[in-house]
Amino acid sequence: MAKKDKKASKSEQNIVLRIIWKLIHGQIMTVGFLKAHWWKIGLAVFMIVAYISMKYECQTSMVTIDKLKNELEVVKNQCITERSKYMGSTRESAMQELVDTLKLNLKKQDQPPFKISYSE
């Protein structure tokens, strides 16, 4: 059984080597073959080049999309930060207006709070 496998693999190798040898020496792709099938060969080459260019464009577009996704994430975070600052500012000004309309004589502190220490 092992001998049959070796013989089969040798015959397959011989066939492949013969085809490569004929291709190199111009016995498969002769001038007549090229004259008869020039437009098919040209179309195949064009399709291969188009496939390669489309694949390259797709890969570059994917890189651009990844960069834009990262940039979008950064902008979203900045938007959230600015919104929270704005909301804090509007709440503070609304409270100040409420205090002013009720005439409570409360003012915004200029100094931060501090601890009073005492000793017994």
pLDDT tens-digit map of 64-113:
999 999 999 999 999 999 999 888 878 888 888 888 888 888 777 788 88
At residue 64's C-alpha, the angle toward residues 60 and 66, to 5°, is: 115
Percentage of the chain lying above the pLDDT 90 cut: 37
- pLDDT for the residue 33: 81
Asked if residue 23 lies in contact with residue 33, where contact means CB atoms within 8 angstroms, the answer is no
DSSP 10: H
pTM (predicted TM-score): 0.49
Q: Would you state the structure tokens that stand for residue 120, as one six-digit string?
A: 């017994």
Where along the chain do its domains lie? 13-93
d(CA 21, CA 15): 10
